[in-house]
């Protein structure tokens, strides 16, 4: 049996080369193929991958006309050889520890008799610039992640969701792969269907990866908006109840927006937004003092941006979303008709 490693890309020239090299370290004896599913990059991403492929026949550059990560992974899996029994999804904006592929693949094979169909990993943020550093520390904290299991370490355990790594191919195909309509949060949505099919998801905290946050305020806001919208679509599709950490940003966004509107006539309405901002800034100041790192003063504004961008996306996603009672577009690369509800 062999392994298919899929890495979706779109304008990732700064990250793709190192990510591929890290993944393939010490894997000469592992039967695998690494497919970079590129969604039409306009930078040097394709050239970088082509250069790597010229020196390692296990690397393949695949055109992903659907552009999104979900469609890219689905397309790669649909073209995979028959002997592929495990699929590993990877991302460019990450650094991988030595032995990562070997560990998650071996872990999944050892846990199959427990009903495990996916091994997921924690994601610890880190960044090089002062802004990225502050974003990373925000995302690593309760202020930024709300206590999400795959954003912190601890004991390895079975979970509802985690950062995607290894899948049992048969289970992935049986539930239809990623829903191509989910442009974001497709990983959590797939986990819902895997669990509904009787599969278990194991979080291996010993295989944590390092994630590189967005480099600008605008890029961070766009990312968080998309994440919030994707989570809302997931909620709508499966008629699920959001967790408190998902409700909180939307509630804060709605409350602060309403207060600012009312404040044009009643200044007292500014109290809740000011109290919220003060709390975020106080947490940032305390963290900065404790760690002797003044860059972390940015954690306050970053947290506020994150909460409001995510909350706006979530509210918008609840109000406007795809028709999940219909099948996905037939032109979308997918694996089975298991996305339709009702």
Under CATH, what is the fold of the domain 2-215?
Spore Coat Polysaccharide Biosynthesis Protein SpsA; Chain A (3.90.550)
Q: Where are the domains of the chain?
A: 2-215, 230-319
Q: Give the contacts of 86 (CB within 8 A, at least 6 positions apart).
A: 1, 3, 4, 105, 108, 109, 166, 167, 168, 169
Confidence grade of residue 154 (pLDDT, cut at 50, 70, 90): confident
Look-up of token digits 């003092």 = 289
pLDDT in tens, 288-300: 999 999 999 999 9
pLDDT surpassing 50 at residue 230? yes
User: 294 in helix, strand or coil?
Assistant: helix
How many CB atoms are located within 10 Å of the residue 119 CB? 28
Report, as an integer, the average pLDDT of 319-329: 85
- Average pLDDT over the chain reads 93
pLDDT for the residue 204: 95
Contacts of 266 (CB under 8 A, 6+ apart): none
- Alpha-carbon torsion, ordered 146, 152, 157, 161, to 10 deg: 50
10 Å CB burial of residue 261 (0-12, 13-18, 19+) is exposed
Distance CA 85, CA 65 (A): 25
pLDDT in tens, 11-20: 999 999 999 9
Flag whether pLDDT at 342 surpasses 50: no
Per-residue model confidence as pLDDT tens digits over 56-79: 999 999 999 999 999 999 999 999
Position with higher pLDDT, 125 vs 229: 229
User: Which pTM value belongs to this model?
Assistant: 0.89
Distance separating alpha carbons of residues 180 and 337, to the nearest angstrom: 12
Residue 300 in tokens: 């306050």
Residue written as tokens 């992935």?
A: 172
Residue pair 119/111 in contact (Cβ under 8 Å)? The answer is yes
What pLDDT sits at residue 84?
97
Q: Distances from the Cα of 44 to the Cαs of 15, 50, 65, 269, 341, in angstroms?
A: 11, 10, 18, 51, 40
Task: Report the SS3 class of residue 71.
Answer: helix
């Amino acid at each position: 049996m062999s392994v298919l490693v899929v890495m979706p890309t779109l304008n990732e020239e700064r990250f793709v080369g190192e990510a591929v090299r890290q993944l393939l370290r010490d894997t000469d004896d592992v039967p695998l193929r690494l497919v970079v599913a590129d969604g039409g990059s306009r930078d040097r991403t394709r050239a970088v991958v082509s250069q790597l492929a010229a020196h390692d026949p296990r690397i393949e550059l695949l055109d992903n006309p659907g552009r999104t990560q979900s469609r890219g992974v689905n397309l790669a899996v649909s073209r995979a050889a028959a002997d592929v029994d495990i699929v590993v999804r990877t991302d460019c904006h990450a650094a991988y520890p030595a032995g990562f592929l070997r560990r998650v693949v071996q872990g999944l094979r050892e846990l199959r008799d427990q009903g495990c169909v996916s091994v997921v990993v924690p994601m610890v943020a880190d960044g090089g610039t002062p802004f990225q550093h502050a974003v990373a520390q925000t995302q690593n904290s309760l202020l930024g992640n709300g206590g999400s299991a795959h954003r912190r370490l601890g004991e390895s355990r079975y979970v509802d969701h985690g950062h995607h790594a290894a899948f049992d191919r048969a289970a992935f195909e049986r539930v239809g792969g990623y829903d191509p309509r989910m442009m974001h949060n497709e990983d959590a949505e797939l986990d819902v269907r895997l669990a509904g099919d009787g599969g278990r998801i194991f979080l291996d905290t010993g295989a944590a990866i390092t994630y590189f946050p967005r480099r600008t305020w605008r890029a961070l806001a766009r990312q968080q908006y998309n994440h919030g919208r994707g989570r809302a679509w997931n909620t709508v599709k499966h008629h699920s109840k959001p967790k408190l950490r998902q409700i909180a940003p939307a509630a804060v966004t709605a409350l602060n927006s309403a207060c600012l509107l009312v404040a044009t006539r009643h200044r007292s309405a500014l109290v809740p937004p000011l109290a919220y901002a003060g709390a975020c800034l106080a947490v940032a100041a305390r963290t900065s003092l404790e760690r002797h790192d003044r860059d972390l003063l940015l954690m306050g504004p970053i947290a506020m941006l994150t909460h409001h961008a995510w909350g706006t996306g979530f509210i918008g996603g609840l109000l406007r979303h795809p028709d999940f009672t219909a099948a996905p577009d037939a032109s979308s690369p997918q694996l089975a008709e298991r996305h339709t509800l009702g």
